[in-house]
A and B are shown apart, each in its own frame.
Chain A
């Protein structure tokens, strides 16, 4: 009996995927993956050998980030990745490439370096932004320690010499799915912010860097938060874009905004624990001025971002996954149905996604070694543009990632900010058509 128990303990631990992970694995195909990227641009060039050492030490503390996706008969699941690695890689021009579960070289978490930039790419079934940022913060701390800089633990930096804590792998959705469920009504189809598709696999990235103090001051002048302000600008830009196209019938413009539930429901989990909100404007009701859009967004988010509503919604999602009939459906039948329901309920009602994980905070000892942070919300589902933002110190990074050729959404967005008196610097990985000598 003891030998059997010992053998059981030695077997690698496998994990069910969480409620959000079910969705991302069902959508997963060879041409699409829900992958996002966080980057830290350091003040000195990255040393790849030291970064690899840091990664080797850090990954042991985060077993949830060193997993493989396996396909069972009814659900996907995670099991520990026994392969050597992960290995840091030289960065590429097309970030957030799709992950192929069957490919032996494929990893769910990737680490890249380029010049002074350290980037991690995470498959969304593994973790949400909050969990990934803890991983990145710890990795950066260990990387700096390997260079002889004293960085204390705490403030979002985990002790890599400790054993992983089971609470970090909990499915927090299940834990808090204890109330009466609330079924969301089917939302109307929103204006799809699409365009001409680029060849496979191209992810066009345009990053804007803004002084956070100017942005905050402007948002305060409208009496809203920075997220609400930026959301309103994006809605305004999309409304005007739809109007320019002169469609037969105007559609509502709505954004998918992920909300971190840890603020309402305490959890140490590093896995997914988010829900989406849908602030939007229906142009069929009439013209909206920018202050009116801001007001709509502000009041919508205040009204709907409450504990009771969030808990009822997540209970409904968990109950759906627990449904006995659904559970016994084989995965090859379940995945297309889940993917279709996501298209109807998770894609059609939204023009695009905007995510803002907030301020990236580090201990004072680390602050001088990081120049700024970046985030890229990877390949959108369909030919669209995604938006994400993150701030560090006084720099706010706003990134648009798209699989389309047009840049009018990004252009109008950043021009709006410039007209508001905010300084914007842009960088992009789009190919330039002009050589330097052609200008003169």
Chain B
């Protein structure tokens, strides 16, 4: 019989270390039994990700039926206006949001978020087709959508894997939000007045910087960081 010198418990003859404290088991009178089977099986059952194929098919059929039915109805109801584009656009957008991630695994979340934002852009494009607004789509909506996509992509890459602390994550989100708003005003000004005169976005960016500075200070100073972790732990 072998015992752990740390814990005082008897261990199985096949153990090389104590299961409780991982201390090596050294018993000159009883070497480790390498022939007897272990007390538990060693083969694990691999649990793969659950198949959501049926749900994906159901959702695809639902969205496709919705888009098709409204598309057909458009020929009879108010055919002078392409109102079905709104419904078709929603169906495509929702399909992109929900269905691919049911079928494809091991794709990073930021990729799905980028697709989601681009699908919003696609929907806005379909709206612009109905309203003959290609001009504002290309001049305003598309740049904003692309800026949103870039922001989401940046955040997705910066925050992937959960490596960042909560403080850093909040700092990045606030900073990205401030830059995004700056970009929105830039595009609005360029579209409407062809000159950039930042106003409200500077205020928003200043507020964001004012929020970021104390967060960065707390993050940098270890004493403050520890205090924040204690007070805000969940």
Chain A contact residues, CB within 8 Å of chain B: 30, 90-94, 97-98, 100, 102-103, 114-115, 200-202, 205-208, 247-248, 407, 410-411, 414-415, 418-419, 423-430, 432-436, 438-440
Contact = CB atoms under 8 A, between A and B. Distances in A.
A251 to B, nearest CB: 11
Interface residues of B, number: 36
Given A428-B40, A439-B32, A418 B16 contact: no
Given A410-B19, A423-B10, 14 more contacts: A93-B43, A94-B44, A102-B54, A411-B21, A418-B9, A425-B12, A426-B7, A426-B11, A428-B40, A429-B41, A434-B24, A435-B16, A438-B16, A439-B26
B37 interface: yes
Interface string B38-78: 01111111010111001000000000000000000000000
Nearest to A206: B19
Which 3 pairs between the two chains have the least Cβ-Cβ distance? A428-B19, A248-B230, A429-B40
Which of B11, B17, B41 counts the most A-chain CB atoms under 10 A from its CB?
B41
B17 A92 contact: no
A434 B20 contact: no
B32 A418 contact: no
Main SS of chain B's interface residues?
A: loop
B106 interface: no
Interface of B: 7-12, 15-22, 24-26, 31-32, 34, 37, 39-45, 47, 49-51, 54, 230-231, 233
Nearest to A413: B20
A436 B17 contact: no
25 contacts: A30-B49, A91-B40, A92-B45, A93-B44, A94-B45, A102-B50, A103-B50, A206-B19, A206-B20, A248-B231, A407-B19, A407-B21, A407-B22, A415-B8, A419-B8, A424-B8, A426-B7, A426-B18, A427-B19, A427-B40, A428-B40, A429-B39, A429-B41, A432-B15, A436-B31
Contacts of A415: 7-9, 20
Contacts of A90: 41, 43
A92 B47 contact: no
A93 B41 contact: yes
A440 B54 CA distance: 56
A200 B44 CA distance: 11
A120 to B, nearest CB: 16
B7 A411 contact: yes
A179 B43 CA distance: 51
A205 B16 CA distance: 17
B20 A410 contact: yes
Given A98-B47, A432-B17, A114 B40 contact: yes
Nearest to A411: B20
B7 A418 contact: yes
Contacts of B32: 436, 439
A93 B37 contact: no
Given A424-B9, A427-B40, A436-B32, A414 B20 contact: yes
B50 A426 contact: no
A427 B12 contact: yes
B41 A414 contact: no
Contacts of A438: 16, 24
Contacts of A248: 230-231, 233
A198 B22 CA distance: 17
Contact of B10 (A100, A426, A439): A426
B19 to A, nearest CB: 3
A424 B10 contact: yes
A98 B8 CA distance: 35
A246 to B, nearest CB: 8
A433 B22 contact: yes
